[in-house]
Amino acid sequence: MGPTSKTTLTVLTISILSRIANCGPRRPPPPELYHEQWRPQYHFTAPKNFMNDPCGLIAYDGIYHLFYGYDPAGKGPTLYSSWGHAVSTDLLHWEIWPLAIPEQAGILAFSGSAVMDFQNTTGFSTDRATAMVIIFTGQVATFIESDQRLAYSLDGGITWTLYDKNPVLRTGKSHFRDPKVMWHKPSDRWLMVVAQAMGQRAVQFYSSPDLKNWTYLSQKGPEGLIFNKEWETPNFVELKVQGENISKWVLPSMTGAYSRPRRTVMYWTGEFDGKKFTADQTKAKILDFGPDFTAIQTWTNYMDDRVLITGWMCVWESCRSHPTRPWQGAQSLTRVLSLEREKGELLLVQKPIKEVEKLRTGVVWEFNNTTIASINDTLLSKKVKGRLLEIIVQLKPKPKTQKVGFKLMVGEREHTVVGYNHIKRHVFIDRSKSGHITKNMGVFYDANVTLQAGSLKLHMFLDWSSVELFANDGRQVITTLIFPKSKTSDGLRAFCEGDDVEVASMTVYQLKTTWDKYWTGNRKSKTPSSKVTDSTLLAKVKAKFASRRFFRFDCSFLCGVHSVVGIVGSLQTHVILLVCTCYAFLILLIFKILERIPVAAILRRHVKIGVTQK
């Protein structure tokens, strides 16, 4: 058999094997980005890979900067932990920017915070830009030590420079992390709360004049509300008590690994004298009664007077087993915090930001002065359904009412229940029949409530894989993830056990996606799209700082001229006459020198040469 025959036989063999391989069932192509089943449509998620804690949340100059723990390599959340970066003008539509702080040389970038250094205490700022400074935990990949480090940006957060004398604070211990930094005006210093997360379990307080040199002040811990062996992501904020002429400091902190019955966010209210926090109560209160609101961070907000908070809508024990691909982890809706009294106790209240009203489409179902039974009949007859919904209901139970509520994402064999148990006086979310229940996922979560003048208000937000419940205007909140098995599970039902309830009002809004660029032009999509607010923020910020550089050059020239004029104007008259005389003498000398040079001959010679060359 010659070489040609061998080649022909090889080609035929490969062709036959290829056809046999293609005879089997073909895998369907992966869904388009942000079209995947369970992909949140108005919550922030990274396009791919693992995302965890919100970090460095800062609002400045019209832009909200969301940094987040991120695995850019897709190898594992604790192998290449870095800071991702997204920006928005409304906390809903997000534009993803370049990685802010990457893992470098085995130093992982763990959680932290961001501030604007208006007084240039660090020396990082210039005459054209105020430094945006990040304070983050540098975690040695072997977990033998953690420390606090700085990075800064002079172009609006686009590029970042690591401080060349990092770290700025170290104790030699591991799990010393998650710094939250703010300017404390009474002491005229920077204030840091940071967790000694494991072992000692405490929230420690430090102060600094320049973000570089830190002094230990005090610590709070380790008592709490539930059994735990880890404290994480502390925050610290001063809030006015609604309806009262006083303020209180609030210290939230997340319980971490080995917490029982689960991880949660606890908080204390109290007093702070510039060095030490004194809690009003020994036991903490719970901020969110669901399993999927963790690793919280308050925003450093330079744009308005709201105290904003965002949490990681996931939990370590179950997040890696969730059926979401190519992404894992989401951020909650941003919420507004306030302090209010209920039965004499201070409660940290959470309300959804006003901006969420922009998500509402023109599709609205309204009910007034009716009953749950009547509402359910209407929901069935009008085929009210949806996977993106906002539901607001004001109801009044009767003495013999037992349970009342709603079934969301209803399918043939699955649904999620949001309701109120009048006997036990608690609101609840039951996801036992919601679809996929992965490892370590609980199924039932509840919170005690107090009826307000005999009535209860429920405010629900439903996304493709989450439910956020705000009861009684945010006095009690429950956040859970759900994973319906079928995309057609989109029904909405109402139910009541015992005596029916009076429903003063109920409104159901259909919501729209905020990931417009991934849906625009997709005719097959039934998900309504909202208008893009800013798809080129990066270009706008680059242009702004480029114009500042030009303006700086122009101003420098004008300032130079102004300085010369000023110097001349400040001289004495006789000095000015002397300078003018010297200039006049110099000009005469130049003319005398020119007279000695045969200029005319030189010109005639050049003209002659030019003619000759032609």
d(Cα 606, Cα 54) in Å, to the nearest integer? 76
The enclosing H or E element of 318 equals helix 316-319
Two structure tokens written together for 482: 């759900």
d(Cα 574, Cα 272) in Å, to the nearest integer? 65
**DSSP state, residue 403:** E
Question: Looking at the chain, how many residues does it have?
Answer: 614
Alpha carbon separation from 515 to 223, 271, 332, 363, 469 (Å, rounded): 42, 43, 16, 19, 23
Region class of 124: left (phi > 0), else alpha (psi between -120 and 50), else beta: alpha
Of 53, 178, 288, 292, which residue is the catalytic one?
53
**DSSP state, residue 31:** P
Helix runs in 358-491, H state only: 372-381
Q: Residues 6 or more apart from 232 whose CB is under 8 A from it?
A: 111, 177, 178, 195, 197, 253, 254, 255, 256, 295
Half-sphere exposure of 374 (CA within 13 A, CB side): 13
Q: Is there a contact between 112 and 68 (Cβ–Cβ < 8 Å)?
A: no
Tell which residue, 234, 299, 296, has the closest CA to residue 268: 234
In the beta sheet, which residues pair with residue 503?
Answer: 370, 395
53 in catalytic set: yes
Residues labelled as active-site residues = 53
